Amino acid sequence: MRVSTPEHWQKFWEEADTLDLDDVYGTDGRLVREITGLGDLHGKRILEVGAGTGRDAVALAKAGAEVLTLDYVPGSLGLTVKAAGMSGVTVSPVCGDGTGSPFADDTFDVVFHQGLLEHFRDPLPMLRDNIRILKPGGRLVVDVPQTFHYYTLGKRALIAINKWFAGWETEFTIGELEGLMRAEGLRVERSYGDWMVPGLWYRALRKIIMTRTGKKLPMFPEPIPPLARLGEAWRRAFGSTRLALYTTPTIGVIARKEAVASIQEA
């Protein structure tokens, strides 16, 4: 079984550094939308755990937040610094372990991560450290793959034959993710999902063709009218229901760290 090691991820991000990141799919702005939806970010301290390409961190810095990124390999942090420099904002990189971060208790207004928690067989050390460094009243935003999607079938098949790029990985239902938050004393404020446009099947096909032939399909192809109408009908009927969160490839939860009630002396 392929194991995700610091060496593996350093190589991964070094190779990503040679790509045109404008030609690489990101989170489609959903994390930025969710976090900016919490209110004015000016003066807020935000930490992204698992820096990735830094796009979300840069967007939040543009919105006025003081943003730090934490990763245990320098390759990812370097991409973040590069993205921040190109955008004319400051994002502070910190090299460290997300299960035991080098920050004091009650430091951040928001802690978030995307595509990270699923790589841990035991998610609790990560979540507990996230909670430790949140200020009372702060929010934890966790974004992960959703179980009931064809993405999961393909991923598990590749893991079984040791071909999945990230080694071992799991996924969550929205109920499981919310349950983890509540079990650690957080109050779930919002749960969300994202169907992704274009879909995962097109993104995978585009990557295969580009890797094997060097030819690039459009990042955002013209929609096929019958499929577009079907998707729109589904969103109108079920998009705002709980059921939708069991169909999207990705889900997320925003949970609040409750303030500790003060004890008044008699």
pLDDT digits (tens, 9 = 90+) for 196-234: 766 666 666 666 677 678 787 777 677 666 666 666 666
Range of the domain at 32: 6-257
Which residues fall within 8 angstroms of residue 218, CB to CB, at 6 or more apart?
none
Is position 128 within any domain? yes
Question: Would you say residue 265 lies in a domain?
Answer: no
Q: What is the number of domains present in the chain?
A: 1
Give a yes or no: residue 17 inside a domain: yes
Residue 86: closest CA among 63, 60, 55, 114? 55
pLDDT digits (tens, 9 = 90+) for 104-160: 999 999 999 998 999 999 999 999 999 999 999 999 999 999 999 888 888 888 888
Tokens of 212: 């094997």
Q: What is the pTM of this model?
A: 0.82
Spatial contact of 140 and 109, defined as CB atoms under 8 Å apart:
no
Q: What whole-number distance in Å separates Cα of residue 34 and Cα of residue 29?
A: 9
Residue 175 lies in a domain: yes
Rounded distance, CA 223 to CA 198, Å?
9
Classify 58 as helix, strand or coil: helix
Q: What is the CATH number of the domain that holds 20?
A: 3.40.50.150
| Distance between CA atoms of residues 159 and 243, nearest Å | 28
The answer to whether residue 262 sits within a structural domain is no
Distance in angstroms (rounded) separating the CA atoms of residues 71 and 236: 39
